[in-house]
Amino acid sequence: MKHVDKSVFDILTPMHRDHSHRGGRLNPSFAKLSMFQYYPGTWDKVMFLDVDTLALADFSDLFEMDSPFKIHTWATTDQKEGVFGNMLWMKIEDMRRIFGLPTQTIPGTNSSFQVMELGQYAESIYEDALAAYYLFESEFSSRDLYMHWGRKTRGAILPDELFFNVALAKKEGYDGWKPILFHTNADGDLRPMDEYVKEGKRFIGYWGDKGYNSTKSRLTYDLLAKKYTGQRQKVDRLLGQKFVNFN
């Protein structure tokens, strides 16, 4: 963290290596699943954003939204069989078999954006997601996935969203509420920022490696990575690990 511009943060908490590494190397998926213990216990609500995210507009109103569910992310819950339409990590039949989800509707989430009320409910989501991760890591491999991170199946990083999906499926009545709108590469090239604001989109998500995002999108992200971390090459290597392949 010595190259990070600390002036843009009010609080900057280093993550312990035991929570950010698996098998001796950085594992962003496991780090995200371990994040709950780093949220300040004195806070009422927290928003989690992936590092490959650019805020477009004020998002403070997202903290004011309320529902029976204490953790929210972009999600759909119309996945009943086959492969997720929007999150292709694993076939639903395999999820039901491996994680013991015989009847629940299984959400397909994007964990890059989370708003949560701190407390027992949100904490249990993270606990159940970690338990699912450990189960899969100990008894299965990335060959059991429909898609995996990394160009090689051997040693591929396991996707955290798969395990968040499992944890949310175990919460009765989770409805896939969608509070956060964002632009992705699938929406086409970048447009003027005021257009996003009018549409209620607060963020741009930069996912995948250089081959996935457009040149303009990559340039924007590269400039931000260089400005605030001074470590663009390391950022690029990390994105290379996140490259998605089909089994």
Domain range holding 45? 12-180
The tokens describing 66, both together, are 């309320």
For residue 72, CA distances in Å to 39, 76, 198, 216 come to 16, 11, 22, 30
Q: Is residue 197 part of a domain?
A: no
pLDDT at 205: 74
Examine residue 130 and state whether it is found in any structural domain, yes or no. yes
Q: Is residue 229 part of a domain?
A: no
- Is 154 a member of any domain? yes
Contact yes or no for 116/70 (Cβ under 8 A): yes
Q: Does residue 150 lie in a domain region?
A: yes
Instruction: Please state the pTM of the whole predicted model.
Output: 0.82
Q: What is the pLDDT of residue 198?
A: 82
**Alpha-carbon span 140 to 133, nearest angstrom:** 10
Per the rule left: phi > 0, alpha: psi between -120 and 50, beta: everything else, 91 is: beta
Q: Where are the alpha helices (DSSP H) in the chain?
A: 17-20, 28-33, 92-99, 120-139, 160-169, 193-198, 215-229, 232-241
Provide the phi-psi class of 104: left if phi over 0, else alpha when psi is between -120 and 50, else beta. Answer: beta
Q: What is the tally of structural domains in the chain?
A: 1
Nearest to 46 by CA among 71, 69, 13, 67: 71
Q: Answer whether residue 1 is part of any domain.
A: no
Q: How is residue 129 written in tokens?
A: 């997601």
Residue 93 lies in a domain: yes
**Alpha-carbon distance values, 99 to 68, 106, 146 (Å):** 25, 11, 15
Q: What is the pLDDT of residue 98?
A: 93
* Residue-by-residue pLDDT tens, the chain, 247 positions: 666 778 878 888 889 999 999 888 888 899 999 999 999 989 999 999 887 777 878 888 888 877 767 888 877 766 666 665 555 688 888 888 999 987 777 888 888 888 999 999 899 999 999 999 999 999 998 888 887 776 566 667 888 999 999 998 888 767 666 667 777 666 667 777 788 778 878 887 766 555 555 666 666 666 666 665 666 555 555 555 554 444 4
User: For residue 240, is it within any domain?
Assistant: no
Sheet containing strand 108-117, strands side by side: 45-49, 108-117, 71-76
